[in-house]
Chains A and B, each alone.
Chain A
Amino acid sequence: MNTILTRRTGTAGVRHTARFSGWERQQEIWFYALISPWIVGFLMFTLGPMVASAIFSLTQWDLLTPAQWVGLANFAEMVADPLFWNALRVTIVYALGSVSLTIVVAMLVALLLNRNIRGQQFFRVIYYLPFVVSGVAVAWMWRIMYNPEFGVINLVLEFFGIQGPRWLASSAWALPSLIIMSVWGFGGNMVIFLAGLQGIPQHLYEAADIDGATGAAKFWHITLPLMTPAIFFALTTGLIGALQAFTTVYVMTSGGPGNATMVYGLYLYNNAFKFFKMGYASALAWVLFAIILIVTLLQFKLARQWVFYETEA
């Protein structure tokens, strides 16, 4: 049967090219014409600036006076710059904390919402909403909630007799505060996990039931393994996003107190647009790009050890 199919399409293909070559050319022209807005956009706003910033990273440039070629001096400066290492450390802690916590919470909520309970649809919307409502407004709201003396978080803690920390005003708590806040957007992962949960074939659970498996055993041996592709997706995209954190940090702490929350993106921004060190900022950007690339490649490599695709079984 396979052979028949192949032969058929093959024949059709040959006839098609022979008789409609003019038409196909036209198709091709239309294809490029229709995607040209994207191509032009990509060349102008992505590839162009990328090439430019790669060149800038080898210069010293303040935007106004002519750039000076400095070779790899910017990269050498980075190695000796304690604030660069600080930014890297802060960013890695933030990314690991934020991504892992978000995934755990999203998974727990997805498991809860996957049950046949009343108002299931309603709860899904409620939990998903914060993911849609984000950005500056939410950051401001959290800032108010974190206020040590008048914010709702410490008022609640006080009710239970706990003396809350100073949150954003303390260099020890500022970064954990931002990590906790980032969990706010777990709804995006939750939806993916929910879809994943509903894709798990019911007969696997039925078989496990017959074998007398407990709930925990079913989770560890059926649910979790079959969810690994979804978790892998959340982990990869989450880390890429978290390593580029900027907006909320800029709004909430501007990197303070001290440099306790000076994430990489903010340090880069300050160098570019506050100190006007475009060359150094471009070099920082390329190092971040390299870090994200390596982390992502590493994840794909490691994925073979733990990500399980049902179709491969």
Chain B
Amino acid sequence: MQTKNTVSRRTFLKVGAGVLGVAGLAACAAPRSAPAPSGSESAATQAPAQAPAAGKTKLRLMTWSGGEELELHKKAFAAFTDKNDIDLEVTAVPFAEYYTKLQTEAAGGAAADLINIGEAYTARWAASKVVLDMNPFIQSDATFNKDDFWPNVLENFSWQGGIYVLPKDYVTWGLFYNKTLFDEAGLSYPDETWDWSPEGANKYLEAARQLTKKEGDRITQYGTMVPSGWGYWVPRIKDVGGRYLDESRTKCLLNEPQNVQVFQWMSDLINKENVAPTAEAQGAGFGFNSGKVAMMPQGSYMVPSLLEAQFDWAIAPHPQGPKGRNSIMYSSGYGIYAQTKAQEAAWKLAVHMTREGSEILAVTGFSIPSRQSIANKPGLYLNEKTIPHNVQVFMDASKYMSLHEVTPTWTQEEQIINAEVSLLMNGEKTAQAALDAVVPQINALLAKSS
């Protein structure tokens, strides 16, 4: 989901669109607010929030959800549009290109009326005035009930006193495991007593070794997945008492000894222990969902795609590290485009997604609703379909989850880290060498931007 190199026709349309966007900007200096010639056919497709003659309000919403996730969200939107006289158009863009698309649309003055935004990026879109401060809406809505949201969830989306995104849900991580494969190996299932450590014996590595199978010298089943993205390694370095940046967020700490040890361990699981598939093996079909890998540390958003799986599976808390247990927390919601002509309708849909909408998402185990009253509803997030898989783990993770320390240059930092981590994970570099190459680059970036 996050490591896949998704490239579609859309990518290229988008590259084209981006280039044209710049071109359009450059060539026609006329402001977009200029009235479109009446009767022009193209005007209808350009203007995002034009009220057609029928009186139906038109809304456009942009999201990075795709596949089943998108269908799920469309169901949640439909619960709103069916009751209201609203014509909703959904633009879905893969996450890898999502903020690029948003940037070019916003630069062209034609972003969607409702924009899906994750907490890490709120400040950027608030500061550039792409999305509206929602406080006036919140204050004028007597039924809104701010206190119903989980502590801190609304704050994650605030910037300089304003609230710019209305969070619909949040996601935490756990350890998915394949019960069928554990049974075959005669092993007991993972539970909260499990531990992991970058050195010495631990239950997680032991199980991963026993769950790896060979036929001749070819591996036919792997013990675990090792995600290479930050959603995985950020909590792992916290597990050993490390952190990514120092308190002031001006210095990168990734090459400190305990962090280096964690990254080396991640690489060793793949290249030395051979209990986790390489990127190439993953490309050739070794994944948890195909039943060929016994364990997978991942976020709750994987649950819906597994509900129809051919094997029996469940979730355990991620094994505890030497200095505790941690999980990343992702949260997302909708911001209202500052130039929308349908503010009221956009606001209503955003609120809907914190209520009935989030219920529809929660039923599948996808994410936990941002409102406590909804998350705790009996039979909702915890229902007859999800309880057997122990999704309770994701709710319990609220005790040890945390946000990532994000700076304005995070996208570039991520690129620097991923380039070196790819050389670590394919076994060409040691963690020390890779992270020693990362740190000065990130420090230089942080120094320049502060």
Contact = CB atoms under 8 A, between A and B. Distances in A.
Given A258-B419, A274-B415, A63 B104 contact: yes
Interface stretch (B6-14, B44-52, B53-61, B345-353): B6-14
B96 to A, nearest CB: 9
Interface in B281-296: 281, 283-284
A258 B129 CA distance: 35
Contact of A149 (B23, B284, B412): B284
A270 B415 contact: yes
B450 interface: no
Interface in A22-65: 43-45, 48-49, 51-53, 62-65
Contact of A43 (B20, B25, B27): B27
Contacts of A251: 5, 7
Interface of B: 5, 7, 9, 11-12, 15, 18-20, 22-23, 25-28, 100, 103-104, 106-107, 127-130, 278-281, 283-284, 409, 411-412, 415, 418-420, 422-423, 426, 428-429
A169 B280 contact: yes
B424 to A, nearest CB: 10
A63 B278 contact: no
Contacts of A274: 100, 411-412, 415
Given A136-B12, A148-B280, A275-B412, A254 B27 contact: no
A259 B27 contact: no
Contacts of A270: 415
A48 B423 contact: no
Residue of A147, A247, A251, A274 with highest tally of chain B CB at under 10 A = A274
Contacts of B12: 136, 247
Residue of B22, B106, B279, B415 with highest tally of chain A CB at under 10 A = B22
B18 A273 contact: yes
A256 interface: yes
16 contacts: A45-B20, A48-B27, A49-B22, A49-B26, A52-B27, A64-B107, A64-B128, A136-B7, A143-B283, A148-B280, A149-B281, A171-B428, A250-B7, A255-B419, A257-B419, A257-B423
A274 B416 CA distance: 12
Nearest to A146: B280
A269 B284 contact: no
Q: Return the 5 tightest CB-CB contacts between A and B, nearest first.
A: A52-B26, A48-B27, A64-B128, A63-B107, A49-B23
Interface residues of A, number: 40
B415 A170 contact: no
A166 interface: yes
Given A43-B27, A170-B428, A251-B7, A63 B103 contact: yes
Interface in A132-169: 136, 143, 147-150, 166, 169
Residue of B5, B278, B279, B280 with highest tally of chain A CB at under 10 A = B280
Given A169-B426, A171-B423, A64 B280 contact: no
Contacts of A136: 7, 9, 12
Interface of A: 43-45, 48-49, 51-53, 62-65, 136, 143, 147-150, 166, 169-171, 247, 250-251, 254-259, 262, 269-270, 272-276, 278
A171 B419 CA distance: 11
A53 B18 CA distance: 13
B431 to A, nearest CB: 14
B422 A257 contact: yes
A5 B103 CA distance: 64
Nearest to A271: B412
Contacts of B15: 269, 273
A45 B22 CA distance: 9
Nearest to A135: B12
Given A147-B283, A149-B280, 5 more contacts: A53-B22, A149-B281, A257-B419, A257-B426, A275-B412
Nearest to B8: A136
Contacts of A65: 127-128
B5 A254 contact: yes
Contact of B278 (A44, A143, A169): A169
A169 B279 contact: yes
Residue of A65, A273, A278 with highest tally of chain B CB at under 10 A = A273
Given A147-B284, A251-B7, A44 B100 contact: no
A251 B23 CA distance: 25
A45 B426 contact: no
B252 to A, nearest CB: 17
A259 B7 contact: no
B422 A258 contact: yes
A136 B130 CA distance: 33
A204 B191 CA distance: 85
B27 A64 contact: no
A150 B22 CA distance: 42
Contacts of A269: 15
Nearest to A281: B22
B103 to A, nearest CB: 5
A259 B419 contact: yes
B354 to A, nearest CB: 27
Nearest to B19: A49
B100 A256 contact: no
B83 to A, nearest CB: 35
A169 B424 CA distance: 11
Contacts of A278: 22
B159 to A, nearest CB: 15
B198 to A, nearest CB: 23
A269 B104 CA distance: 13
A44 B23 contact: yes
B433 to A, nearest CB: 11
A44 B27 contact: yes
Contacts of B11: 250
B202 to A, nearest CB: 28
Given A250-B7, A274-B100, A150 B284 contact: yes
Contacts of A257: 419, 422-423, 426, 428
Contacts of B130: 64
B304 to A, nearest CB: 26
